[in-house]
Amino acid sequence: MRKMKIGITCYPTVGGSGVIATELGKMLAERGHEIHFITSSVPFRLNKIYPNVFFHEVEVSNYSVFQFPPYDIALSSKMADVIKEEKLDVIHVHYAIPHAICAVLAREMSGENVGIVTTLHGTDITVLGQDSTLKQAIRYGIEKSDIVTAVSDSLKEQTYELIQPTKQIETIYNFVDDKVFRPIDVGNLKEQFGISDHERVIIHASNFRKIKNLPDIVKSFIKIREQIPAKLLLVGDGPEKQRVMEIAKETPYKKDIIFLGKQENVEELFAISDLMFLLSDKESFGLVLLEAMACGVPGIGTATGGIPEVIEHGINGYLVQIGDTDAAAEYALDLLTNEEKLQQFRMAAMAASKDKFNSQQIIDHYEALYERVAVLR
Ligand code: GMT
């Protein structure tokens, strides 16, 4: 396969779409492609130097006349500069709003024949697609892209339903870096958290937004804790954190609910965890579930969006209806009190992350799309 020059735009701060964009860029660089990140800051997972990975910072003017800083225009201009100066073959944008539209504008501005690949990640469709002020713009960005992908079949179907594009959308599942997300030895980390050997550990990691249903996670945990010794690790930060801390404080097991804030090396926390909870209202994929599964931690998730494409019910985890904290607790207890079954689920979770979500095959798929875009234009 010929080596290409690929521009990548994403939200560089914590969030699944930024993680996927960055991991994809790193893996493409390892295959010899030249990668140009065009973002407002260095993507947080870009934690290693590569000679063929470049960062182009989008700087937004805060000229006093502007009531709102024009990020979209600044991004489009920067993209146009990079397309021209670096002679990009492809620009791959993650998240439709505003990135797909900016890429289309940048191609016009640059006058170059660059290919545009847009990957839809979830809330850009499931939340913003319901907003009448943005729907037209999302449809425009999708139609004008050369290739559009979605991270699950569920998201693809929802895009057709909500946005009604004529464009064909392809599903390419998310993946994890299996050099990082794998079972590792973390010594006495569990003890350092004051967790004894016989206690089970349940983990949840997210941006603590309302759709993540943190109170359901606490409720399910309390039902588990009433039966067995256990701890709940809550990783992340966001708008719901304060409220959840207050809910936790009111429970008889407040000492067993540990708020860890944002953490960089979550794989070390997965190494001391037995089960992952993701009980969201909406979730196009649930990348954090896959990260946990790759480390041998099965998940309990809600049967919503793309989660049923990640968790195979009764094989590598369990699915429950949104809000059904009784079922979540029952399934959790079923695994946490049966070491042999938990072990089977652990193995099945790791196998799924290696097979169905095989990172090398997924990168092959993206490379094939870039080739197709180059032929199309
Ligand atoms: O879940 C979030 O709030 C962050 C959001 C994002 O845009 O980064 O995540 C979305 O993209 C991830 C990567 O494709 C998916 O794993 C998440 O399921 C998806 N979130 C939602 O659909 C709510």
Task: Give distance in angstroms: CA of 63 to centre of ligand 1.
Answer: 33
Residue 182 CB partners (closer than 8 Å, separation 6+)? 267, 294, 295
Find the helix or strand (DSSP H, E) in which 116 lies: strand 115-120
Q: Is the dihedral of CA 12, 26, 355, 178 positive or negative?
A: negative
Statement: residue 123 has pLDDT above 90: no
Task: Give distance in angstroms: CA of 153 to centre of ligand 1.
Answer: 14
Which residue type, as a one-letter code, is found at position 349? A
What pLDDT score does 311 carry? 98
Is the CB of 296 inside a 6 Å radius of any atom of ligand 1? no
Q: Is the peptide bond before 252 cis (omega within 30 degrees of 0)?
A: no
What pLDDT score does 22 carry? 96
Residue 148 CB partners (closer than 8 Å, separation 6+)? 117, 118, 119, 120, 142, 165, 167, 168, 169, 170
**Residue 242 Ramachandran class (φ > 0 left, ψ -120 to 50 alpha, else beta):** alpha
pLDDT digits (tens, 9 = 90+) for 285-307: 999 999 999 999 999 999 999 99
* Mean pLDDT within 236-258: 97
Mutate to test the pocket of ligand 1, among 23, 95, 121, 366 (most ligand atoms within 8 A of CB): 121
Q: Do domains 5-175+358-376 and 189-354 have the same CATH topology?
A: yes
Which residue type, as a one-letter code, is found at position 135? K
What pLDDT score does 81 carry? 98
Using the structure block, give the residue that is written with the tokens 């209806």. Answer: 321
Classify domain 189-354 at the CATH topology level. Answer: Rossmann fold (3.40.50)
Q: Predicted ipTM?
A: 0.97
pTM for this one? 0.95
Is the CB of 151 inside a 6 Å radius of any atom of ligand 1? yes
Q: Two tokens at 38? A: 């065009």
Q: Which atom of ligand 1 is nearest to the CA of 207?
A: 3
pLDDT digits (tens, 9 = 90+) for 126-164: 777 778 888 899 999 999 999 999 999 999 999 999 999
Domain ranges for the chain, please list them.
Answer: 5-175+358-376, 189-354
Q: Two tokens at 50? A: 């590569």
CA angle 352, 45, 260 (to 5 degrees): 80
pLDDT digits (tens, 9 = 90+) for 320-345: 999 999 999 999 999 999 999 999 99
Cβ-based neighbour number of residue 131 at 10 Å: 11
Mutate to test the pocket of ligand 1, among 162, 181, 276, 283 (most ligand atoms within 8 A of CB): 283
Task: Give distance in angstroms: CA of 144 to centre of ligand 1.
Answer: 23
What pLDDT score does 377 carry? 66
* Mean pLDDT within 273-295: 98
Is the CB of 122 inside a 6 Å radius of any atom of ligand 1? yes
Which residue type, as a one-letter code, is found at position 172? I
Do the beta carbons of residue 171 and residue 203 sit within 8 Å?
Answer: no
Task: Give distance in angstroms: CA of 18 to centre of ligand 1.
Answer: 9
In the chain, the largest separation of any two C-alpha atoms, in whole Å, equals: 66
Least confident of 10-14, 30-34, 73-77: 10-14
Q: Which of 312, 301, 317, 296 is nearest to 356 (CA)?
A: 312
What pLDDT score does 332 carry? 98
CATH level 2 (architecture), domain 5-175+358-376: 3-Layer(aba) Sandwich (3.40)
Is the CB of 25 inside a 6 Å radius of any atom of ligand 1? no
Do the beta carbons of residue 289 and residue 281 sit within 8 Å?
Answer: no
DSSP string, 294-347: HTT--EEEESSTTHHHH--BTTTEEEE-TT-HHHHHHHHHHHHT-HHHHHHHHH
What pLDDT score does 258 carry? 98
Statement: residue 262 has pLDDT above 80: yes
Statement: residue 350 has pLDDT above 70: yes
CA angle 150, 155, 160 (to 5 degrees): 95
Task: Give distance in angstroms: CA of 156 to centre of ligand 1.
Answer: 14
